[in-house]
Amino acid sequence: MNLSKTTKYAFRILGHMAKDEKVLYSAQQLHKDIDIPERYLRRLLTDLSKSGFIKSIQGRQGGFTFARDTSKITLMEIVDSIDGKDSIDGCILGYDVCVFNYSCPMHNVWEETKQKTIDTLTKTSLKDINNHPHDVF
R_g of the chain, CA atoms, integer Å? 17
Residue span binding ligand SF4 (CB under 6 A) among the ranges 78-86, 101-109, 114-122, 124-132: 101-109
Near ligand SF4 by CB under 6 A: residue from 31, 42, 55, 107: 107
Near DNA by CB under 7 A: residue from 1, 5, 32, 115: 5
User: 18 to each of 3, 49, 59, 61, how far by Cα in Å?
Assistant: 20, 15, 23, 20
Task: Convert 15-34 to b/e letters by CB count within 10 Å (16 or more is b).
Answer: bbbbeeeeebbebeebbeee
Near ligand SF4 by CB under 6 A: residue from 35, 60, 103, 135: 103
100 lines the binding site for ligand SF4 (CB under 6 A): yes
Q: Are 55 and 65 in contact (CB under 8 A)?
A: yes
Binding mask 94-113 for its own copies (x = CB under 8 A): xx----x--xxxx-xxx-xx
Instruction: Identify what 22 binds: its own copies, ligand SF4, DNA, none; CB under 5 to 8 Å per kind.
Output: none
C-alpha–C-alpha distance, residues 39 and 42, integer Å: 5
Give contact residues for DNA (rule: CB under 7 A): 4-6, 9, 25-28, 36-40, 42-43, 45-46, 49-50, 56-64
Residues that bind ligand SF4 (CB under 6 A): 91-93, 95, 98, 100, 102-104, 106-107
